[in-house]
Each structure stands twice: as C-alpha cells, then as structure tokens.
A and B are shown apart, each in its own frame.
Chain A
C-alpha cells in the first residue's frame, strides 16, 4: 500500500526566508504526487502536482516541488515566505486498488509558522 511521511510536524520560518517542507512516499511505480494547503477550519487547496515528465513542478502562490525518485521524495519549496503562507501543508499520493487509482493517501501534515 502507498504511504506518505512528512517528517516535520512543525516548522518555523522568518518572513522573507526560504522554505522547504519534506515529503517521502512509498510506492513501487511512478507515483502521482500532490501538495495541498489547509488554512484553519478550511478545506484543502491544491498547490501543485506531479504525474510525469519534468521533475521540477511549479504551482500556485510561488511554490515549487521537486520529485526525486532515488530518494522517494517530493519536497515543497518557496524562495521567500509571506505571513499569509502560515497554514497546514499536506503531501499526498494517489492510491491504487484493484480497479485503478481512487483516493489519495495523505501525510500527517506540517504546520508552518511564520515569524515576523
């Protein structure tokens, strides 16, 4: 079964500093990978996705992520964070059952705190 690990429960970054959130996945074939962001009490917003091709993918709000097959990683980056980036970030991988892809398997999330 597919799984996702986000090693950092909390990360604190100063406003204007760079950010990297880690994500490791477990899946035998090429995975479908996603990053979502969730503000308090809200649903999830898709930041970016990887299916195939270029391993560096660009998303919304200035975020990017790099797929590294050798490390089973899909880390999220942003060169300069803004106070509005404070939120919960979830990495996810598409799950596959006998009939094909259905739902998503999420990590436990990383809580991002922005210091002024």
Chain B
C-alpha cells in the first residue's frame, strides 16, 4: 500500500509569485484535503476535493485554489504569495463514504516566502 506523497519537499519563493504544490493520494483513497501549518501552530484546513470538485473550504482567501485529477492526485495553487504564507503545507487523503473519516497525511512541503 502506497502512502501519501508530496512534492517538492522544500520550496523558496518571492513575495508576489505563484506556487504549485503536488500531492498523490494513498492508494484506494478518493478524497484529498489540504492544510497549512504555521510554525508552532496546529494545521489549519484549507479545502477538500472529492470527485474533482471542492467539497469544503476553510477560512482562506480565493488566491488559494486547488485541483483534483481523475487519478485522485491533487494540486494546491497559491497566487500573489505573501510573507505569511510561509508554512508547512500538508496534504491528507481519505476514503469518502467509509463512515470512519480517517485522514492520512503526507510529509508536507515546506514553503518559505521571502
């Protein structure tokens, strides 16, 4: 069984730039959620994708957007980067409809905005 993978591991961008982060779901999972974890804080829910559509969204502005592909992999796009976007971005996969709602996390992408 393949776990959740994310790429890249680390990324440095300049304020105002755009970034794309990638996530591959655990095999057999059909739902992907993205979280932002600032240093010393708990993860904060950005959004979730199911059947290639946004299924729920946290308190993040529209410059945070995403995609889910037919193979259930996903992208997180952030436009007009701000210094406060520096964080660990975590992807989690789950299987909708199983009734247990367990989410399994990848190792994360560390984004630094300068």
Contact flags (1/0) for A1-34 with B, using CB distance below 8 Å? 0001000000000000000000000000000101
Contact B106 A95 (CB under 8 A): no
B33 to chain A, nearest CB (A): 5
- Alpha-carbon distance between A75 and B10 when the two chains are bound, in angstroms: 34
Contact A95 B105 (CB under 8 A): no
Contact A44 B48 (CB under 8 A): no
Judged by a CB distance under 8 angstroms, whether B81 is at the interface is no
Q: Indicate whether A45 sits within 8 Å of B35 (C-beta atoms), given known contacts A90-B43, A106-B42.
A: no
Contact A43 B44 (CB under 8 A): no
Judged by a CB distance under 8 angstroms, whether B2 is at the interface is no
Instruction: Tell me the residues in window 33-62 of chain B with beta carbons closer than 8 Å to chain A beta carbons.
Output: 33, 35, 41-48, 55-58
- Alpha-carbon distance between A94 and B99 when the two chains are bound, in angstroms: 12
Contact A94 B45 (CB under 8 A): no
A contact face: mostly helix, strand, loop, or mixed: strand
Q: How many residue-residue contacts, CB under 8 A, span A and B? A: 66
- Alpha-carbon distance between A115 and B108 when the two chains are bound, in angstroms: 29
Contact A44 B43 (CB under 8 A): yes
How many chain B residues sit at the interface, stated as a range, is: 20 to 34
Judged by a CB distance under 8 angstroms, whether A54 is at the interface is no
Judged by a CB distance under 8 angstroms, whether A97 is at the interface is yes
Contact A101 B42 (CB under 8 A): no
Contact B100 A49 (CB under 8 A): yes
B55 proximity list for chain A (CB < 8 A): 99, 102
Contact B102 A103 (CB under 8 A): no
Instruction: Name the contact of A109 in the complex, choosing from B42, B101, B106 (C-beta under 8 A).
Output: B42
Contact B42 A90 (CB under 8 A): yes
Judged by a CB distance under 8 angstroms, whether A83 is at the interface is no
Judged by a CB distance under 8 angstroms, whether A113 is at the interface is no
- Alpha-carbon distance between A107 and B43 when the two chains are bound, in angstroms: 8
Q: A102-B55, A103-B45, A105-B45 are in contact. List 5 more A-B contacts (CB 8 A).
A: A46-B103, A51-B99, A92-B42, A103-B33, A103-B46
- 30 sample A-B contacts, Cβ–Cβ < 8 Å, listed by A number: A4-B42, A34-B103, A36-B105, A41-B110, A42-B107, A42-B108, A43-B105, A43-B108, A44-B43, A44-B105, A45-B105, A49-B100, A49-B102, A51-B99, A51-B100, A94-B101, A95-B56, A97-B56, A97-B57, A101-B101, A102-B33, A103-B47, A103-B58, A104-B33, A104-B35, A104-B43, A106-B42, A107-B42, A108-B42, A109-B41
